[in-house]
Amino acid sequence: MTVEYHQLAELPWENPKDAPPELQELAKKAAGTGARRAPIPCDSIGVYSQISELPAGYEIPPHSHSAHELMVVLEGGCTVMGGPELTAGDLAEIPADTEYGFVAGDQGIRFLVVRPEASVTAIS
């Protein structure tokens, strides 16, 4: 096995047309605001990962995922619905099938998501 590197500047940002069917409507809305995400292929080590960037005030509606998730705030921050404010360096461990949502802070947010497998998203 060899080390694989993924540089942010070289990641392909997801085309909203390629979003899973359950996320098509949200992806179209997101594209109009500058929100974007880039899947990070980590097949060789068996995880699913992505980087997302959201502008200030962008709301991710209540939803859940079929797999556990580790969310790492890289820049900016957000306020979790019914939870705390997260800023750069903060982490959230989100169990599978747990509903959550958040609103990007005044500077927007860039965050990394890592899951043990691909998952299905259910918008509440």
**Spans of all domains in the chain:** 8-123
Q: What is the pLDDT of residues 61-116, one digit of tens each?
A: 999 999 999 999 999 999 999 999 999 999 999 999 999 999 999 999 999 999 99
Q: What is the pLDDT of residues 15-72, one digit of tens each?
A: 888 888 888 888 888 888 999 999 898 878 889 999 999 999 999 999 999 999 999 9
Instruction: Say how many CA atoms lie within 13 Å of 98 toward its Cβ.
Output: 12
**What pTM, to 2 d.p., does this model score?**
0.91
Instruction: Say how many CA atoms lie within 13 Å of 110 toward its Cβ.
Output: 5
Q: Which residue type does 85 have?
A: E
Please give the biggest Cα pair distance in the chain: 42
Which option is the CATH number for 8-123: 3.40.50.10470, 2.60.120.10, 3.90.1150.10, 3.30.70.1060? 2.60.120.10
Q: Which residue type does 98 have?
A: T
Residues 6+ positions from 80 with CB-CB distance below 8 Å:
86, 92, 100, 101, 102
